[in-house]
Amino acid sequence: MKSIPFAGWHTRNDLEKRLNRNVQFMLLGLGAAWMIMFIYVVLITLRERKLRKELDRVRRMVEHPNK
């Protein structure tokens, strides 16, 4: 005979699923905020390095035009 699960189990499982989803999306949201800030900091650092290199190169070019 096929057993019929107690209706309360469905409700509790559904509630647990919903709560888990709620926490997952909270972590996703906060993670997205940190990730965007992190990516921008990395991009700005790379840009700074590139600009410093370019500045050194152009300075050398002006100071020693024949090299």
Partner 1 sequence: MREKIIIGLAVVAAGLLAWNMNTIFTGLPDELNQGAIYRIIYFHVPANILGMLGFGLGMILSIGYLVTKDLRYDALAASVTEVSLVFASIGLATGSIWARIIWGVWWAWDLRLTSWLVCWLIFGGYLMLRRAVDEPIQRARFAAVVSVLGSVNAYISYKSIEWWNTQHPQPVLSIRDGGGMAPGMEAPIYWNLLALACFSVILVMVRMRQESFAREIDTLRRMAHAQ
Q: What are phi and psi of 28, to 5 degrees?
A: -60, -45
Is residue 42 at the binding interface for partner 1, with CB under 8 A as the rule? no
Is residue 15 at the binding interface for partner 1, with CB under 8 A as the rule? no
DSSP code per residue over 15-42: HHHHHHHHHHHHHHHHHHHHHHHHHHHH
Is residue 55 at the binding interface for partner 1, with CB under 8 A as the rule? yes
Is residue 37 at the binding interface for partner 1, with CB under 8 A as the rule? yes
Neighbouring residues of 6: CB distance < 8 A, sequence distance ≥ 6: none
| 2 versus 43: smaller Cβ distance to partner 1 | 43
Cα-trace Rg, the chain: 29
Binding residues for partner 1, rule: CB under 8 A, are: 19, 21-23, 25-26, 28-30, 32-33, 36-37, 40-41, 44, 47-48, 51-52, 54-55, 58-59, 61-62, 65
